[in-house]
Amino acid sequence: MNAAFTHFIWIVVSSWWCLSLIIMGFYAGAVHLWIKRWRLIPQGEAPPLDPVRSGLTAIIPCRNEVGNLPKLIADLRKQTHPVEILVVDDGSEDGTARAAADLGVTCISSPAPGKKPALIAGIAQATTEWVATLDADVRLGETWAQAMLEAAVGQEATAVVGPVTLGPNRSAWDRFQALEYGAMMVWIGGGVHSKGLAMGSGANLLFKRSAYPSDFLTPAVASGDDTFALEAIQKQQGRLVWQGDPRAGVLTAGAISWRSLWTQRGRWASKTTRLDDRETIFIAVLIGTVQCTLLAWTLASLVLLNLPLGLATLALWAVKMMLDFRLLKQVNSAFKIHARKQDYITFAPRYLIMVLGAWGQILRGRVVWKGRRI
């Protein structure tokens, strides 16, 4: 009986091992696709086009951003292409609206709580041909507006997705976040460029105002204004363009702690089940499955203290780390993160901690944004 039971256990473990390798195979295929797509994008600064004369309004929906808003407004006023600035105050409690008024910037109040109603109000107020959505905590160079409009006009776009990077990268914590966020940018940039993805960051998007899909933002979902808008434009046969020119990039700071990172990612994850983009849903499921697989093998090897099981677990971790290394090297090169060897080695376990923490925040109902529980 004992021999038969042992034989059965090893059949189960062997089957589990084969399934785990298949899962890693899917992950390897995804990494290969992301890198392949990214390398098809023209790299470096593009030669500036003739001066673009289209009007542009930068819409900044914000809540409690009195410390960041003046810096962004200063950046926008230095643009080589003139930009109208419109701040939409989402019930701030720190004097954000007053700060905007003191800086001589048009500021309106959002008609309802949340970023999406604020965006809709801002779009309705704007009168220029193009509108850009920016987060209040980003910084940008003086040619940002020119570069984004060059992509919009030159490629006859309906919407332009611009890169967002995290920095400065002074510590291992900063570099982990920069690498992880950069990996998302590689996936997004390559996917948009290849016409296979409708995704972007609301911290750096440009839209043709007349085509902005205000009716499709799904205000009931806490996050996802960027993705819902781009997905709607794609469904309406609009043209999405990735502008990877470094001049079009914006810089923002990462999360200050694990808890704030978990909360941020939990908020982002809340939109996934409401999307129609099959690739986005597939990638979300794949990433979650990979993390569950690693966690299950790790816990099993620690509980059972079985040498073959432990070796199998280490082998899976090694496969994941090698795949991550290939992707992260591309990210490091693309976004000048200046990662170190230890950043690559520790990335996989840190990423697992991030995913588990985000799930924990969702399950415990502790996802908040700007002081509001989601």
Domain-ending residue, one of 254, 269, 289:
254
Q: Is residue 32 part of a domain?
A: yes
Q: Is residue 172 part of a domain?
A: no
Asked whether residue 223 falls in the same domain as residue 357, the answer is no
Rounded distance between C-alpha atoms, residue 332 and residue 96, angstroms: 36
In this prediction, residue 274 carries a pLDDT of 61
Q: Is residue 307 part of a domain?
A: yes
Rounded distance between C-alpha atoms, residue 173 and residue 303, angstroms: 30
Segment 45-62 shows an average pLDDT of 80
Domain-ending residue, one of 185, 220, 254:
254
Give the CATH number for residue 144. 3.90.550.10
**How many domains, in total, are found in the chain?**
2
Cβ density class 285-298: b for 16+ within 10 Å, e for less:
eeeeebbebbeebb
Tokens 């801002």 locate to 122
Asked whether residue 219 falls in the same domain as residue 306, the answer is no
Segment 26-54 shows an average pLDDT of 85
Q: Is residue 299 part of a domain?
A: yes
In this prediction, residue 311 carries a pLDDT of 93
* Residue 40 structure tokens: 């098809």
Q: Is the pLDDT of residue 144 over 90?
A: yes
Segment 68-77 shows an average pLDDT of 96
Query: For the chain, what is the mean pLDDT?
Result: 89
Asked whether residue 308 falls in the same domain as residue 347, the answer is yes
Cβ density class 197-222: b for 16+ within 10 Å, e for less:
bbbbbbbbbbbbbeebbeeebbeebb
Asked whether residue 227 falls in the same domain as residue 347, the answer is no
Q: Record the pTM.
A: 0.90
Asked whether residue 304 falls in the same domain as residue 204, the answer is no
Q: Is residue 263 part of a domain?
A: no
Asked whether residue 90 falls in the same domain as residue 121, the answer is yes
Asked whether residue 305 falls in the same domain as residue 359, the answer is yes
Asked whether residue 233 falls in the same domain as residue 328, the answer is no
Rounded distance between C-alpha atoms, residue 113 and residue 115, angstroms: 7
Asked whether residue 92 falls in the same domain as residue 30, the answer is no
Asked whether residue 223 falls in the same domain as residue 121, the answer is yes
Q: Domain limits at 309? A: 16-39+279-373
Q: Is residue 222 part of a domain?
A: yes
Q: Is residue 167 part of a domain?
A: no
In this prediction, residue 91 carries a pLDDT of 87
Asked whether residue 219 falls in the same domain as residue 291, the answer is no
In this prediction, residue 216 carries a pLDDT of 80
Asked whether residue 131 falls in the same domain as residue 225, the answer is yes
pLDDT tens for each residue of 248-296: 999 999 999 999 999 888 888 766 656 667 888 899 999 999 999 999 9
- From the CA atom positions of the chain, what is the Rg in Å? 22
